Amino acid sequence: MATFTVNDDFLDSASQTDSPAQQARRFSQSQPAKLAEEDKDEVLTPEERLVVLCRVCDQQFSKNVIDRHANYCSKVRGIESRYKISSEELLVQLNEAVQTRLRELQCLEELSSQRGQEPCDEVCVRKIEVLNQMSTVLSRLQRIQEDTTGVTYYRSVFAQIEEDMGTIKRGMAFNKECGATDAAIGPFGEIVLRVLKERKASLGETIRKKQHLFGLEKLINSDGSPDDGLAREAKVTIHDFEMVKPISSGAFGKVWLARKTASGDLYAVKIIRKADMIRKNMQEHVSNERNVMKLASNNPFLVDFYYAFQSEHHVYLVMEFIQGGDCGSLLENVGYLEEPMARHYIAEVVLALEYLHSMNIVHRDLKPDNMLMTVDGHIKLTDFGLSFVGAEVLSMSDTVSGNNRVVGTPDYIAPEALIGTGYGPSVDWWALGIVLFELLVGFPPFNDESPTHIFQNILKKDICWPLPPDDVGAEAKDLIEKLLTTEPNDRLGANGAGEVKKHPFFNGLDWDNLLGTKLMFQPEVDNELDTGYFVPHSSLSVSLVGNFQKSDATGTFVTTDTEGEDSGDEGDEGVGISKFNIPNFSYINFDGLADLTKEKSARKEKS
């Protein structure tokens, strides 16, 4: 495996010592695995011997408990990420989650009784007791009040918290050692302990302020060091990944194939230099991409998004690795596609746009380069750097110093974007018409030698149809013409994806089973690291955010901004850039990681 070192010249200053994740991984490999067992039999079943790593907490569990654990682990981590550890709302949400699991166990006990089966055994009774203790602790924390009279009340609460921490730890220890681990107790217990530690530290500070008490420090720290075996609060950095090799370069960053050290999973990591981002005034676009991918996760026709984080000099977006390349690369190799193949690809894009538009998201940069292909041959949309979230119709161009700052890729920009009359989801349907033409013919309909000439062709709607004309079927041509209607309100798709799906071009297509269809072309990869289906594209295919001024006299566009130029020396970060951080940028898709865990578990069982 060819690996590339993360060094000062490329990413951030990497520590010469292993990261905590690397140390944990090596330690776990050198120690006997501590598995969570569902069955109390001494002889383990094949299912119990199957060990799967939870991608949410990076801990190992046996196959028969991993799915339920991943669900609970994702739920509690999600609660913790949404609310401050000190907030009352966190206590309420967490207690509700504990109560939900408690009711599930109690229902199982009642069901066994109704069926005349053996009542819940001692282990099950103890699990219910542990969950009840957690709920009691959380309820007690909600009842803590401010006492202005002295320190007696706070000291009594402090002592109760210490007792509660011991109770929760004993319950978690029982859960690990009982031979029938409950999937919820571990994740719930860890966050309850973190809440207790936070409350304990806060109370200790309050007591110090109220009165200087001799020997109080020993009392406050009597439960051990800060790192006492609890799972750390969820956080990820670039040092949790091993850079394998570059996949592609775009207008706003580079994409690398990377392996997460703890799990060994492969991801595509988009890396954007903050210096470039600030020079190009792209902070808003980077934030938009993160926000859109967060909103649009868990759709089969969109690339899955797992992490967002930043370092001193870089911003990182971690997505699933799609190995089959993109449709732009495919066209570079085969020239054009047969109509049945193009029809299926376009249909999957229609479903992707239908979902995005239902979330009030406009993609704004639909093109073959952004249509990735899975190893099964299906399409997933990517690159949401130019996307917009919002229900209102807005201007496609941003006003910058009196110029129209046009966003998109020249060949695919809708006419309303160029003339600045406002835009909505219809710009994506225009781009879909361009893409369909390109898939069938091999080049975009308004293609020319420069963006200025392309824009003129778009406004004149000067389509370069192939000769002979029957190279494009009548139904395909009709669909293209309806999608390339100049007036956005009259364009096919303006009233929703439903009218696009009803077009005769798609007759006979099973819209509910597109993913179940075996496709004519399925990429053949040599191994899990194969990126051979990705090829460089021409310069005019690169997305741009350029300044264009329209001349009243000539009707032509003049660019005042050049995309793709070198952004300067790698070490030149610019004044003040190293201290720049995008607010509220960090994100972990706990639900997506839980789904990934269950997917990996199912694959491992099959193999």
| 102-109 average pLDDT score | 78
> Rounded CA gap, 23 and 18, in Å?
6
| 1-5 average pLDDT score | 36
Distances, alpha carbon 323 to alpha carbons 83, 141, 238, 386, 534, in Å:
36, 49, 22, 23, 9
Query: What pLDDT band is residue 117 in, cutting at 50, 70 and 90?
Result: low
pLDDT of residue 316: 95
> Rounded CA gap, 586 and 297, in Å?
16
> Which residue did the predictor score with more confidence, 580 or 487?
487
pLDDT of residue 567: 33
pLDDT of residue 9: 39
The two beta strands, 403-408 and 544-550, are antiparallel
Query: What pLDDT band is residue 259 in, cutting at 50, 70 and 90?
Result: very high
> Which residue did the predictor score with more confidence, 301 or 556?
301
Q: Which of 110-124, 415-429, 523-537 has the highest mean pLDDT?
A: 415-429
> Which residue did the predictor score with more confidence, 7 or 267?
267
**Domain ranges for the chain:** 33-234+598-606, 332-565
> Which residue did the predictor score with more confidence, 569 or 267?
267
Coil, strand or helix: which one is 466? Answer: coil
| 424-440 average pLDDT score | 95
Cβ contacts of 344-348, under 8 Å, gap ≥ 24: 344/509, 344/514, 344/517, 344/519, 345/371, 345/379, 345/439, 346/432, 346/435, 346/436, 346/439, 347/501, 347/506, 347/509, 347/511, 347/514, 348/301, 348/378, 348/379, 348/514
Residue 13 CA from chain centroid, whole number: 25
pLDDT of residue 11: 39
| DSSP label of 59 | -
Q: Which of 69-78, 180-189, 420-429, 571-580 has the highest mean pLDDT?
A: 420-429
pLDDT of residue 238: 94
Coil, strand or helix: which one is 424? Answer: coil
Residue count (the chain) = 607
> Rounded CA gap, 594 and 555, in Å?
54
Angle of helix 474-483 versus helix 426-441 axis, rounded to 10: 150
The two beta strands, 361-362 and 397-400, are unpaired
Structure tokens at 554: 């000539």
pLDDT of residue 200: 83
Percent of residues, the chain, with pLDDT higher than 70 = 72
Distances, alpha carbon 500 to alpha carbons 141, 290, 439, 482, 532, in Å:
55, 29, 18, 9, 34
Residue 457 CA from chain centroid, whole number: 37
pLDDT of residue 297: 77
Cβ atoms of 433 and 479 closer than 8 Å: yes
Inform me whether the pLDDT recorded for 545 exceeds 60.
no
- Residue 256 has phi, psi (to 5 degrees) of -115, 145
Count other C-beta atoms under 10 Å from residue 87's C-beta: 12
Query: What pLDDT band is residue 420 in, cutting at 50, 70 and 90?
Result: confident
Inform me whether the pLDDT recorded for 146 exceeds 60.
yes
Structure tokens at 246: 């570059």
Query: What pLDDT band is residue 445 in, cutting at 50, 70 and 90?
Result: very high
Cβ atoms of 319 and 305 closer than 8 Å: yes
> Rounded CA gap, 164 and 12, in Å?
42
Among positive and negative, which fits the CA dihedral 428, 496, 380, 260?
positive
> Which residue did the predictor score with more confidence, 2 or 428?
428
| 411-428 average pLDDT score | 89
Matching residue, tokens 């798709």: 493
Q: Which residues pair with 319 in a beta bridge?
A: 268, 305
| 217-223 average pLDDT score | 39
Residue 155 CA from chain centroid, whole number: 44
Lowest mean pLDDT among 38-52, 378-392, 449-463, 551-565: 551-565
- Residue 5 has phi, psi (to 5 degrees) of -75, 135
Helix, strand, coil % in the chain, rounded to nearest 5: 45, 15, 40
Q: What residues have CB less than 8 Å from 148, skipping those under 6 apart?
A: none
> Rounded CA gap, 276 and 567, in Å?
6
> Rounded CA gap, 305 and 381, in Å?
12
pLDDT of residue 39: 35
Inform me whether the pLDDT recorded for 243 exceeds 90.
yes
Lowest mean pLDDT among 18-27, 49-58, 81-90: 18-27
Q: What residues have CB less than 8 Å from 301, skipping those under 6 apart?
A: 348, 349, 351, 352, 355, 378, 379, 380, 381
Query: What pLDDT band is residue 440 in, cutting at 50, 70 and 90?
Result: very high
Positions marked catalytic: 365
Q: What is the pLDDT of residues 49-82, one digit of tens each?
A: 578 888 888 888 878 788 888 888 888 888 877 7
Cβ atoms of 399 and 407 closer than 8 Å: no
pLDDT of residue 494: 93
Matching residue, tokens 């509220």: 584
Q: What is the pLDDT of residues 327-375, one digit of tens each?
A: 999 998 899 999 999 999 999 999 999 999 999 999 999 999 999 999 9
pLDDT of residue 411: 93
Percent of residues, the chain, with pLDDT higher than 90 = 31
Inform me whether the pLDDT recorded for 103 exceeds 50.
yes
Q: Which CATH superfamily is domain 332-565 in?
A: Transferase(Phosphotransferase) domain 1 (1.10.510.10)
C-alpha triplet 29, 30, 35: angle, nearest 5°: 60
Classify residue 510 by burial, with Cβ atoms within 10 Å: 0-12, 13-18, 19+: exposed
| 455-479 average pLDDT score | 84
pLDDT of residue 412: 94
Q: Where are the alpha helices (DSSP H) in 180-262?
A: 185-210, 216-220
The two beta strands, 388-389 and 397-400, are unpaired
Q: What is the pLDDT of residues 194-218, one digit of tens each?
A: 888 888 888 777 777 665 543 434 3
Query: What pLDDT band is residue 112 in, cutting at 50, 70 and 90?
Result: low
pLDDT of residue 520: 82
Count other C-beta atoms under 10 Å from residue 471's C-beta: 13
At 43, which helix (H) or strand (E)?
Answer: none
Mean of pLDDT over the chain: 77
Cβ atoms of 383 and 356 closer than 8 Å: no
pLDDT of residue 537: 58
Count other C-beta atoms under 10 Å from residue 42's C-beta: 6
Q: What is the pLDDT of residues 466-476, one digit of tens each?
A: 776 567 889 99
Q: How would you label 364-383 residue by residue, b for 16+ Cβ within 10 Å and e otherwise?
A: bbbbbbbbbbbeebbbbbbb
SS3 labels along 565-596:
CCCCCCCCCCCCHHHCCCCCCCEECHHHHHHH
Matching residue, tokens 């570059």: 246
N- to C-terminal Cα separation, the chain: 23
Residue 280 CA from chain centroid, whole number: 24
